[in-house]
Amino acid sequence: MIVKQINRKIVLLMAIIGLLPSIALKAQDTLTVSLSKALEIAMSKSPTIKVADKEIQRVDYSKKEKFAALFPTISASGAYQRTLKKQKMYFTIPGFPSDPNGFEVGQDNTFNAGISAYMPLISATLWATLQMTETDAQLVLESARSSKLSLINQVSKAYYAILLTQDSYNVIKRSYDNTVENARIIQNKFKQGTVSEFEWIRADVQVRNAQSNVVSAESAVNMSILQLKMLMGIDMFTGLKVEGNLADFESKMYGDILAIDTTTLKSNTDLKQFDIKAMQLNHALKIQKASWWPTLAASFSYQYMSMADDAIALSAYRWFPTSSAAVSLSIPIFQGGARIYKQKQLQIQIDEMKDQRDNLRRGLELQVISCLDNIKKAIEKIASNKEGLRQAEKAVVISKKLYEVGSSTYLDLTNTELAYISAGVSYNQSIFDYLSAKADLEKLLGKDSPQQ
């Protein structure tokens, strides 16, 4: 008897520990979300999307930075030079004695201040580089779209996982309630002496095992909710409740599949990013070819200068301006063949990417076929498991009536309960498998929002 009391306390303690997360969440405001609402919150609060948006902004600034090369570069300068030892000059005149000491030239102090400007007039390399910035921006935008598609896929699967754990919990909880009721009936029969103590003990053990399953199911629900919160980017202590159940998606699954266009991969983000990278290589080849062309640039300089010895007062310094304007032409002639070999390398890379794209496309087509096959199998399982669940529910009712009138054993009753749990979990799992495969297919096809 003491052992039974200790076991009851242990089970009660486990149940309380399992319910602690849900009790803590109920203390906060509860947020009820549908799949569309969960995605909307994730798109606005998820750090993944925020990072992608900042990257777009960064590339926009980078684009403006490169366009700044079209404008003049203006700089100011100033310099001071102190002569420590002046240069000496010697003159030798035929027929006259020369001065062996010579004489010093130059000034003790030199001051210089001015402004200069430089601007490219014709530069094929610069123009080709500016064209490449547009491609860089396209790649970042597509990368941000890829992050969005991945988040949609993850949030959708996390949402479906919550529905799976909740529906599985409901199946296990219903079986647990049946087990408790059966144990109560057996306990009354044991007190009346119509069943053995062994029968009662076995029923009591069955109840405790079922209770452990309920606690594990509750823990699975709580963990799946926390996973969705993390993906949505909301506070982990905010209460969250999801709408609906897996069976709601069964009625419209055929229409969802018919609405998906599986004949094209034109919106696939991996394929689009690959194409943009190929464009970058083509632009890099254009830049390399542009390095063969001459460049023309204009420059301007305006300076003030003063030179004076220490003996002259500062107020007596004479400042004089100098200015110049120039146009320079640079014609590349020979660099040891480096440019030719660089062009050949880029051309080989471009040719390689054509073969790599074909391989990528075939891989994506394989994934699409695999997803469609998984969806087809899941739909077949749903139909079969739904009928199995209906039969299992009916078997539980019949078995309970047979046991009450003494026409079946408790083992038969236990087996029908286990069969009911297995059928319910299998039915829910098949719907989840269908939804998960559909979410993966939508990601492959580049759909920006899942079908509700």
Look at 155 and 12; give whichever has higher pLDDT. 155
Spatial neighbors of 64 by CB under 8 A, at least 6 apart, are none
| CA gap 143, 137 in Å, rounded | 10
Let me know: does 332 contact 292? Beta carbons within 8 Å. Answer: yes
**Where exactly are the structural domains of the chain?**
2-72+105-308+318-444
- Using a CB cutoff of 8 Å and minimum separation of 24, what contacts does 398-406 make? 400/178, 400/182, 403/182, 404/185
Residue 133: the pLDDT is: 86
Residue 11: pLDDT over 90:
no
Percent of the chain predicted with pLDDT > 70 = 90
How much is the average pLDDT of 214-224? 93
Q: Are strands 239-242 and 30-33 parallel, antiparallel or unpaired?
A: parallel
Band (107; pLDDT cuts 50, 70, 90) = confident
Residue 106: the pLDDT is: 77
Residue 412: the pLDDT is: 82
Is the full-model pTM beyond 0.95? no
Domain 2-72+105-308+318-444 indexed as CATH 1.10.1040.10:
no
Residue 10: the pLDDT is: 46
Band (265; pLDDT cuts 50, 70, 90) = confident
How much is the average pLDDT of 377-403? 89
Band (170; pLDDT cuts 50, 70, 90) = very high
CA contacts within 13 A on the Cβ side of 231:
25
When the pLDDT of each residue in the chain is averaged and rounded to a whole number, the result is: 84
Residue 450: the pLDDT is: 62
Residue 449: the pLDDT is: 67
How much is the average pLDDT of 266-278? 91
How much is the average pLDDT of 418-427? 91
